[in-house]
Chain A
Amino acid sequence: LAKTTQPISMDSYEGQEVNITCSHNNIATNDYITWYQQFPSQGPRFIIQGYKTKVTNEVASLFIPADRKSSTLSLPRVSLSDTAVYYCLVGDDTYGGSQGNLIFGKGTKLSVKP
């Protein structure tokens, strides 16, 4: 499973756009990139998943360059409630992939200030 590297922490202010970049140099051809959000004393919550280029949903966008060795989670106009730890995971996780388990890295602790 590909190892991921993220910044340990980031600070932002309400209303700003936040971009969190994750490095995964050893990503395999079958691997997808998935981002999770975790609040204290809660289980992780799925945010977004992608394979290449750009994916957008109602809460975030995910940008993946052509070499797929990194990815950037973009959170538009963050609020105080977006303060959480964000994990980038890489694995064969979707659409019947054989590798079901996901290995969590250290994550990025995002602190949103008023």
Chain B
Amino acid sequence: GAVVSQHPSWVICKSGTSVKIECRSLDFQATTMFWYRQFPKQSLMLMATSNEGSKATYEQGVEKDKFLINHASLTLSTLTVTSAHPEDSSFYICSARGGADEKLFFGSGTQLSVL
């Protein structure tokens, strides 16, 4: 089946720095990718919808200037957490629609820890 690769799988950074997370569709073209955030023992929360070649659509309450999303190609979307703070520590997951039957496939997630 279709594969979505997410990198890095975990990252530790200092408060105030920026962190970039990549999401790649390995064997299909994904015109739309989605970014989720998941806190411990909670469900996934949709942050934004990323469309190739256009600006991302953010969910209510998600700061677009803090969580920069770029979807420059049909196989790559990036999420940059700018000026990260400890409260941004979370599990970030991307997903992409694609494959022969246009199903939704998820990446393996990125655990971000901000010190």
Contacts and interface: CB of A to CB of B under 8 A. Distances in A.
Interface of A: 34, 36, 41-46, 49, 87, 93-97, 100-107
Contacts of A105: 43
Given A100-B49, A101-B34, A44 B101 contact: no
Chain A interface, >50% SS class: loop
A100 B43 contact: no
A101 B46 contact: yes
Q: Which 8 A-B pairs have the closest CB atoms?
A: A43-B106, A104-B44, A104-B43, A43-B109, A44-B106, A43-B93, A100-B32, A43-B108
Contacts of B95: 43-44
Contacts of B32: 100
24 contacts: A43-B4, A43-B94, A43-B95, A43-B108, A43-B109, A45-B106, A46-B103, A46-B105, A93-B103, A94-B101, A94-B103, A95-B101, A96-B102, A100-B32, A100-B34, A100-B49, A100-B97, A100-B104, A101-B49, A102-B104, A103-B46, A104-B43, A104-B44, A104-B45
Nearest to A109: B41
